[in-house]
Chains A and B, each alone.
Chain A
């Protein structure tokens, strides 16, 4: 069995700096990590590898700059078998449509997979759109917001977290799933894992390897355009009340009740 895990390199800190003139993000390459939710997807794959009776090969695929090799190596040190990086100037500026398309071409190039896993969204772009897009390009069903995965005979069974509860769905044959944090607890890389990962080669694919042209990937091919980036103004004028003594506490609580009345919430 073959499982593909999609991984994105994201800035470690949310404190992104911005070039206010050009409206572009300034990202320091050194502070990049695996997108946290992708770690849960990888862990799900590793747990299946350990628990299924048949042999499972876990491949990790990322699209990004050459520096993203590092996050793939980290995935190897956690237990992934193979790391593949899709990289090249042609991909720069791809929106979710183009990213999904490029990754689907790379996945096709890597062969047939029984299961493709990714995180529900990345902490930088926060769109959650690339996973379902890849599924569509590959002709696979997209099972999103997955909180657990099980193999049952020839089927995958997954629990989906919806707004008001969980639904269990089943699919025979390959599928792409976008997992939530709840799906697993990621392991830490072991020393031995790190040592073994150092000896492995990260395969690098470029646009020509997957047959992608500038009509399909990159900024110009992307349906969407970012026209403006700005800092939200969300610092508010807070009416701060000291409630440290009994009298202050009572006054503060009464003010909150007044607010509830003003807002017609009670």
Chain B
């Protein structure tokens, strides 16, 4: 008998993050196929019912909120201990988390302790018809192959899900559900790791959260030219990303790097400018909803992965685009 589908929601400074709502979309599909309830689990400190209810409005039948000052921000040990304690008590069938820096830490720690099957960074999830098992599909080897994985026997079936690979679940006004406030016992909250300080990135928007990413590559020729991409990103309300070549040449900070040794992004629109499309770069952005390439080499591989390609001089096209967009804004 299945004990339901869980998603591990995330919050920052007491505000539920959008990745949680993306997980609800995934969870709703699986729970409806299995005919089981959907539970959202959230860790934090003193979050009001009104905020927790946002998870209900978007599809959770039940919210379990682990409430303790020690859980205010992510710490590997208390988050793992609390998640394991809840799972052991309630025995869910499926547990999903976002493939974020916290999700990709707490899930493998919990799976190790529970001897559960865990699949990383899935881009597609489904239920196998005849068995009811979770089918987890994920890219590997730099996006060159896709693998479908399942956990036949061990429970729960656990997966982290690539952020932005699914739309957030829409609000259903008036939707009701159960809010459960849980105060974990002190033994679950001890941590050898202490958080000392936090410094936000200088950029206004981070590339993993942006709807639009403008990526710079070797085609920019010099570091100061990157300003052309920043201006465009500003007008579009997007963020700037970079290929490894651009980062290695010192034109962009590492926090901008997209690809195998950098970040994985899935924005609505990815504009690759002067980026040739090396497999290592493609690995970090090919699940973007729409890709546009601007490159003066009409044979560049990036065009094979793009919906729209502009073959021309980026030093001419970028300022023209920025200017036209500014003019539209008025």
Which residues from chain A sit less than 8 Å from chain B, CB to CB? 11, 14-16, 18, 25, 36-37, 95-97, 100-101, 123-133, 135-137, 141-145, 147, 157, 160-173, 175, 180-182, 222-232, 234-244, 248-250, 252-257, 259-260, 263, 265-266
Q: Is residue B143 contacting chain A, with contact meaning CB distance below 8 A?
A: yes
Which residues from chain B sit less than 8 Å from chain A, CB to CB? 12, 73-74, 76-77, 80, 100-102, 104-105, 107-109, 111-113, 115-121, 135, 139-154, 191-201, 206, 208-209, 211-212, 236, 254-255, 257, 260-262, 268-269, 279-280, 283, 286, 290-293, 298, 303-313, 316-317, 320-321, 324-325, 328
- A residues within 8 A CB of B115? 97, 223
Q: Contact: B153 with A229, CB < 8 Å?
A: no
- B residues within 8 A CB of A227? 135, 148-150
Chain A, Cβ-Cβ closest to B329:
A266
> Closest approach, in angstroms, between the C-beta of A228 and any C-beta of chain B?
4
How many angstroms between the C-alpha atoms of A256 and B320 in the bound complex? 11
Given contacts A162-B101, A227-B150, are A241 and B120 in contact (CB under 8 A)?
A: no
Given contacts A14-B283, A249-B317, are A241 and B310 in contact (CB under 8 A)?
A: yes
Chain B, Cβ-Cβ closest to A157:
B196
Q: Contact: B308 with A259, CB < 8 Å?
A: yes
Q: Contact: B105 with A132, CB < 8 Å?
A: yes
Q: Contact: B117 with A163, CB < 8 Å?
A: no
Q: Contact: B148 with A226, CB < 8 Å?
A: yes
Residue among B120, B146, B196 making CB contact with A229, cutoff 8 Å: B146
Q: Contact: B311 with A144, CB < 8 Å?
A: no
Q: Contact: A263 with B268, CB < 8 Å?
A: yes
Q: Could you list 8 A-B pairs, sorted by A, with CB under 8 Å?
A: A128-B104, A128-B120, A136-B113, A162-B74, A165-B200, A226-B148, A230-B148, A244-B311
- A residues within 8 A CB of B308? 238-239, 241, 255-256, 259
Residue among A141, A166, A229 making CB contact with B147, cutoff 8 Å: A229
Chain A, Cβ-Cβ closest to B292:
A256
Given contacts A96-B118, A238-B309, are A133 and B196 in contact (CB under 8 A)?
A: no
Q: Contact: B120 with A126, CB < 8 Å?
A: yes
Chain B, Cβ-Cβ closest to A16:
B141
> Closest approach, in angstroms, between the C-beta of B202 and any C-beta of chain A?
9
How many angstroms between the C-alpha atoms of A93 and B108 in the bound complex? 18
Residue in B77, B293, B312 with the greatest tally of chain A CB atoms within 10 Å: B312
Q: Contact: B316 with A228, CB < 8 Å?
A: no
Q: Contact: A171 with B193, CB < 8 Å?
A: yes
> Closest approach, in angstroms, between the C-beta of A216 and any C-beta of chain B?
10
Q: Contact: A141 with B192, CB < 8 Å?
A: yes
Q: Contact: B141 with A14, CB < 8 Å?
A: yes
Q: Besides A144-B104, A257-B325, 19 other CB < 8 A contacts?
A: A95-B117, A97-B116, A123-B261, A145-B105, A164-B209, A169-B194, A224-B150, A227-B135, A229-B146, A230-B148, A232-B143, A234-B286, A238-B293, A238-B308, A240-B298, A242-B298, A250-B320, A256-B292, A260-B236
How many angstroms between the C-alpha atoms of A263 and B73 in the bound complex? 35
Q: Contact: B108 with A257, CB < 8 Å?
A: no
Q: Contact: B105 with A142, CB < 8 Å?
A: yes
> Closest approach, in angstroms, between the C-beta of B190 and any C-beta of chain A?
11
> Closest approach, in angstroms, between the C-beta of A4 and any C-beta of chain B?
17
Q: Contact: B149 with A224, CB < 8 Å?
A: yes
- A residues within 8 A CB of B305? 234-236
Chain B, Cβ-Cβ closest to A250:
B320
Give 9 nearest A-B pairs by CB, closest first.
Answer: A243-B312, A223-B117, A132-B108, A127-B120, A136-B112, A165-B200, A129-B108, A14-B142, A223-B154
- B residues within 8 A CB of A147? 254
Given contacts A163-B209, A263-B269, are A123 and B194 in contact (CB under 8 A)?
A: no
- B residues within 8 A CB of A257? 321, 324-325, 328
> Closest approach, in angstroms, between the C-beta of A22 and any C-beta of chain B?
13
Q: Contact: A164 with B201, CB < 8 Å?
A: yes
Residue in B105, B108, B116, B209 with the greatest tally of chain A CB atoms within 10 Å: B108
Q: Contact: A241 with B140, CB < 8 Å?
A: no
Q: Contact: B153 with A223, CB < 8 Å?
A: yes
- B residues within 8 A CB of A162? 74, 101-102
Residue among B191, B211, B307, B311 making CB contact with A265, cutoff 8 Å: B211
Residue among A126, A144, A252 making CB contact with B317, cutoff 8 Å: A252
Q: Contact: A228 with B196, CB < 8 Å?
A: no
